[in-house]
Amino acid sequence: MTVFRDQNKLTLVSPIRLSEDGLAALDGLGQVTNIVKLGGYHLGAQNGLDHAFSWIATGRNFGCWRAQNPMPSTSAIAASCAAIEAFTRTAATKVDQVRMNVVSPIFVKERMALFGLPTESGLSAADTARSYLAAVNGAMHSQVLATPDYA
């Protein structure tokens, strides 16, 4: 696994499953804002996984939820998110040994509170995590997992 750090933002490349101590150490470095998984080899049984999976997390704090729920001044965000969703669905048709899904988050309440924003339109970090767990543990393939659906 490679970790890139930009101030408090972390990008994980080819992440691995970490122990509780490893997760705590990662938390001490900053907030994970991007995850990049490369190659089916890193996702298979040879690396201790029961099944291969892959997901693309879109949207950072704002969420690619806007691709399905547009609002004024979000056309560039919605277009890029729709492209990621289309890429994932198309790539998934060519790959059977790796499940490919997109997790499409909305604002996380705890993050909104840090910025002094009203939190009623957000979703808790725990509820957001459920969609990531579904992407890893579920059997779905070629799906867009909207975080509000897993709350």
Give all domains of the chain, ordered by start, each with its CATH number.
37-150 (3.40.50.720)
The overall average pLDDT reported for the chain is 75
Q: Give tens-digit pLDDT for 18-39.
A: 778 878 888 888 888 777 665 5
Q: In what order do the strands lie in the sheet with 53-57?
A: 53-57, 99-104, 143-146
41-76 burial: b if 16+ Cβ within 10 Å, else e: ebbbeeeeeeebbbbbbbbeeebbbbbeeeeeeeee
User: CA of 95: how far to CAs of 2, 74, 129, 141, in Å?
Assistant: 24, 32, 25, 10
Higher pLDDT, 42 or 108: 108
Q: Give tens-digit pLDDT for 70-89.
A: 778 777 777 777 887 888 88
| Cα torsion angle, 108, 109, 112, 113, sign | negative
pLDDT at position 132 is 82
